Structure 1
């Protein structure tokens, strides 16, 4: 039976990547599962520069976005700005998701709300990684906030690279294939996995599979983690070709086998 899912994206006004990478992954998935199709509907929060002050101001607009997207009766909502959540302090993604879920429900749309921040934590934990090395486009103080947030969730960040780009439009223009060489400067000696982009505005999808093969470690991103969590929340098979280990058929088979063994 064919089913079309409406996905609501809450994005910063200057974000040019989330409406590119999420559709690209789900359209690639349709090659495997053509009966499940997706449409994408966005509401925007004003933000141009990635600073703690501007992120906090932007976050207050997410409530309005949840109302607008629930008007469209979307099947799920995605809060697509990782650092806006992580800069608010440890565990804030839980508060944000609960608040936005309640707003959507009150407006007649009781649907799951996924934040890219919470999805990244869940994605790292899903693959069993205890230690990660990360790449961010942020200035170092914001990267430190991201590191602290991840570590507050019980995951050690063994190394990080900050590209120190504060203009959000400039972040979206960074060549994702440069990440293949950037990771040469990332210390992965103690890491179980690599977060190639801890930012949904910094493109990484074209490089994820290549970097994973180069490093011989699981590689994920804020965007791939978001798609994984989104598909899981919708009860759909969380598999996308060439999008790293988290969305691979190999990991899905392993996860399914482990789940089955616990039920025996």
Structure 2
């Protein structure tokens, strides 16, 4: 009986100690994470997407964010050192400048928190972007569906057959169609410039190519198209063919979903163009890549 009485205080001490250990292992506060806003307003290229990440936690081991483009996320950026702490509250102010061609993709950012007990929390930011006129060129294939000068229709069957394709890297191609395939040109570069202070011209697109001059010679050739109206379906633009005295030709440029496309009209014609070193785009005068 005495042994039992002696054991009772010992058991009580162990029980109290165990309870203390359990209580001491519990978090003072549960880890929480929030972002404001979770979705941006409609932004343009060059605008800034901003958001504030707020964390409530006993401690933070790391905070990373991932850029997510069309559901594919990058390797991530660690911004733990940029957290601002006030007791158990941590804040991170995020800023991202919308880049050229971001508007061709779904874009977002995922923020990943690991607290001091390795609990992981995530929040996300959706970036909404208005498509730019420049990106409209890249998103679709384009065709000239109408061309007029002084009220006269000047669209030739050959020009009507062309499908234009503009690439993000600044190159462009033309599918001339099987019936009009030729090796007179090597289609090289396109340059785009916004012109907000130029009357009703909202922007200019320049197409630069090499023009064949005999079997082993070629010269640079380019045309500037003044765009006066543009949306994802249709553009209105004016251009000059000064050598023929045709000024202010009005073209209607219509988009179509990207589909079958054969540069120069046939694979054989493309091979001929590529084999002609005088037509190489590497010969283009670099000064033409800047619209003054």
Normalising TM by the smaller chain, what interval? under 0.3
Higher RCO, 1 or 2 (CA under 8 Å, sep at least 6)? 1
Structure showing the higher helix proportion among its residues? 1
Normalising by the residue count of structure 2, what TM-score does the alignment of the two structures yield?
Answer: 0.23
User: Which of the pair has more CA radius of gyration?
Assistant: 2
